[in-house]
């Protein structure tokens, strides 16, 4: 256990934990878009920036999602310098995704009413890679990745047309902070809409009640992973024992 202060509050935390997680656990708000408890931290959005001073006196700006707690660490989450940086960052995101309500809300919260830069239109994707990380670390199929480099970076399925590895579980839609990925179930079809691709999946029918409940591909994957018969999962959540 180590003792540190966040905005003057003295806190005890387990070694190895990140400042952001510790702050959140103690109801101290630090804005963040690319962090999520179920995947590893990435450090792409830079909004979770905080000022820290180590026990030995070293001062710097760090992203709290990736900075491990230390004995004697002094953390300041909302200094003038931190606020200025967050404002520019959200301003840049707002210029990139002017239609995104989530970004608009956060911008307003951080004091940016409208963007200072020429607007583009990247839908709502902010390249936070939460979808990619969820697909790789939680689901384990790595169906999507970030492709190209720099200003042309985007989230895509391989070759923009290969959805073989995708099992239609919708974890990406669930974890996306801005709603850039949408999932919709209608009748016997699930449609996942990603920036640049629309993928459809045939839903399996519950053998008891007849409701369509999950993509066949997802159920097959789960069965394969558990070394069970491919049609093992044939009941919806309501009809299971």
Partner 1 sequence: MTAGLEHVREAVGAILERYQHDRGSLVAILQDTQAELGYLAREALVEISTGLDVPMSRVYGVATFFRAFSLTPRGRHTVNVCLGTACHVRGAVRILETIERETGIKAGETSEDLRFSLETVNCVGACALGPIMIVDGKYSGEITVDKVKPLLSMYK
Partner 2 sequence: MNRLSSPQELEALRESIVRNRDTRRRCLTICGGTGCLALGAEELIAAFRSEVESRGLISGVDIRVTGCPGFCERGPLVVIEPENILYQRVRPKDVAEIVSETIVSGKIIDRLLYVDPNTGQKAVHESEVPFYKKQLRLLLADNSRIDPNNVNDYIALGGYSALVKAIFKMSPVEVLEEVRKANLRGRGGGGFATARKWQTTRDAEGEPKYVICNCDEGDPGAFMDRSLMEGNPHSAIEGMLIGAYAIGSNEGFIYVRNEYPLAVLHAETAIRQAEECGLLGDNILGSGFSCRISINRGGGAFVCGESTALMASLEGKVGEPRAKYIHTSEKGLWEKPTNLNNVETWANVPLIINKGADWYRQIGTENSKGTKIFSLVGKVNNTGLVEVPMGMTLREIVTDIGGGVPKGKKLKAVQTGGPSGGCIPESMLDIPVDFDELDKVGSMMGSGGMIVMDETNCMVDIARYFISFLEGESCGKCVPCREGLKRMREILTGITEGRGEEEDIERLERLSETLMDSALCGLGQTAPNPVLTSIRYFRDEYQAHIRDKRCPAGVCKALITYSISDKCPGCGLCIKTCPQGAITLVEKKKPVLLDQEKCIKCGACYDVCRLDSVIVK
The contact set with partner 1 (CB under 8 A) reads: 132, 136, 141-149, 157-159, 162, 164-165
Applying CB under 8 A, which part among 78-86, 136-144, 157-165, 178-186 lies near partner 2?
78-86
Number of H helices, E strands in the chain: 6, 11
Intra-chain end-to-end CA distance of the chain, in Å: 43
Place of tokens 């806190």: 11
- Distance from C-alpha of 155 to C-alpha of 180, rounded to nearest angstrom: 10
Find the shortest distance in angstroms from Cβ 16 to partner 2.
11
How many CA atoms lie within 13 Å of 10's alpha carbon, on the beta-carbon side? 2
Find the shortest distance in angstroms from Cβ 95 to partner 2.
7
Within 10 A of 239 (CB to CB), how many other CB atoms are there? 14
49 binds, among partner 1, partner 2, none (CB under 5 to 8 A by kind): partner 2
Put residue 104 in one of left, alpha, beta given phi > 0 → left and psi -120 to 50 → alpha: alpha
- By beta-carbon proximity to partner 2, the closer residue of 97 and 172 is 97
Place of tokens 């902010």: 126
- By beta-carbon proximity to partner 2, the closer residue of 38 and 40 is 40
- By beta-carbon proximity to partner 1, the closer residue of 20 and 141 is 141
> In the range 43-72, which residues lie near partner 2 by CB under 8 A?
43-46, 49, 61-63, 66-68
Task: Note the residues at the interface with partner 2 (CB under 8 A).
Answer: 42-46, 49, 61-63, 66-68, 81, 84-85, 88-89, 92-93, 95-96, 116-118, 126-127, 146, 148-153
């Amino acid at each position: 256990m180590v003792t540190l202060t966040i905005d003057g509050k003295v806190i005890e935390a387990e070694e190895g934990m990140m400042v952001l997680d510790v702050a959140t656990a103690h109801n101290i708000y630090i804005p963040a878009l690319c962090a999520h408890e179920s995947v590893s931290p990435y450090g792409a959005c830079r909004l979770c920036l905080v000022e820290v001073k180590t026990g030995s006196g070293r001062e710097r700006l760090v992203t709290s999602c990736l900075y491990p707690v230390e004995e004697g660490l002094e953390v300041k989450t909302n200094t003038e310098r931190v606020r200025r940086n967050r404002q520019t960052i959200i301003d840049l995101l707002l210029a990139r995704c002017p239609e995104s309500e989530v970004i608009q809300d956060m911008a307003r919260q951080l004091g940016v009413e409208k963007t200072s830069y020429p607007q583009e239109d990247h839908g709502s994707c902010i390249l936070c890679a939460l979808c990619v990380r969820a697909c790789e670390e939680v689901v384990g199929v790595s169906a999507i990745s970030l492709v190209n480099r720099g200003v042309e970076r985007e989230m895509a399925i391989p070759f923009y047309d290969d959805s073989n590895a995708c099992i239609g579980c919708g974890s990406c839609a669930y974890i996306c902070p801005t709603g850039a990925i949408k999932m919709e179930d209608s009748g016997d079809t699930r449609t996942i809409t990603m920036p640049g691709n629309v993928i459809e999946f045939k839903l399996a029918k519950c053998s008891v009640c007849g409701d369509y409940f999950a993509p066949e591909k997802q159920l097959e994957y789960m069965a394969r992973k558990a070394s069970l018969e491919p049609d093992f999962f044939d009941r919806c959540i309501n009809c299971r024992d």
